[in-house]
A and B are shown apart, each in its own frame.
Chain A
Amino acid sequence: DAKTTQPTSMDCAEGRAANLPCNHSTISGNEYVYWYRQIHSQGPQYIIHGLKNNETNEMASLIITEDRKSSTLILPHATLRDTAVYYCIVHGSSNTGKLIFGQGTTLQVKP
């Protein structure tokens, strides 16, 4: 599975959009981009995933560049409860199902 690169940490003001970038320049054609988050002392929570097209659900939007080498997770109106570690994961080429987690981005939402 392709490797991802994320900033170590980011801050966001409460009520503003949080834009979390991810680089995955070695992604292959059949690999999906997944986003999970881990709030302190909880299990990883699935947020959203996509292959080529932009995706939106009740939690977030995922913007994937046309060349698929990078993506951005957008939390449209960040709240204090969105403070967490966000993981961008490229998933799928090995077909064993496993996710390979990196260090993620620690997002701190501030009042």
Chain B
Amino acid sequence: DTAVSQTPKYLVTQMGNDKSIKCEQNLGHDTMYWYKQDSKKFLKIMFSYNNKELIINETVPNRFSPKSPDKAHLNLHINSLELGDSAVYFCASSLGTVSGNTIYFGEGSWLTVV
């Protein structure tokens, strides 16, 4: 069973559209994250939720809105998609936020905006 799973794996959409990426973890973790990897391959944190509460928002545009319906899910909704949003988005989870808690990543969602 996949520990951190994301859907869809590939998404091609037009500028201006609204889209969502879903993430689920079956590890019983309290903390979930969204990371973005752009064309230059740098991985950067976007959001983090701990027990459904937002704890990190790394100056991400308001068009990006995470939603955590429960501890096992953290979905990413993107409004008014722009060309620059094209990237790979990784969901991740960890037991908690204290040091020493290992973060586990999903396989990524490839978003292409045309």
A residues whose Cβ falls under 8 Å from a Cβ of B:
30-32, 34, 38, 41-46, 49, 51, 85, 87, 91-93, 95-101, 103
The interface size of chain B toward A, counting residues with CB under 8 Å, comes to 28
Q: Does B83 contact A (CB under 8 A)?
A: no
B residues whose Cβ falls under 8 Å from a Cβ of A:
4, 31, 33, 41-45, 48, 50, 55-56, 90, 92, 94, 96-108
Q: A97 contacts B43, CB within 8 Å?
A: no
Q: A101 contacts B100, CB within 8 Å?
A: no
Q: Which residue of A lies closest to B43 (CB)?
A: A101
Q: What B residues does A43 contact at CB under 8 A?
A: 4, 90, 105-108
Q: A93 contacts B108, CB within 8 Å?
A: no
Q: What A residues does B41 contact at CB under 8 A?
A: 85
Chain A to chain B contacts (Cβ below 8 Å), 18 pairs? A43-B105, A43-B106, A45-B105, A46-B103, A46-B104, A85-B41, A91-B99, A92-B100, A95-B99, A96-B97, A97-B31, A97-B50, A97-B55, A97-B56, A97-B97, A97-B98, A97-B103, A100-B45
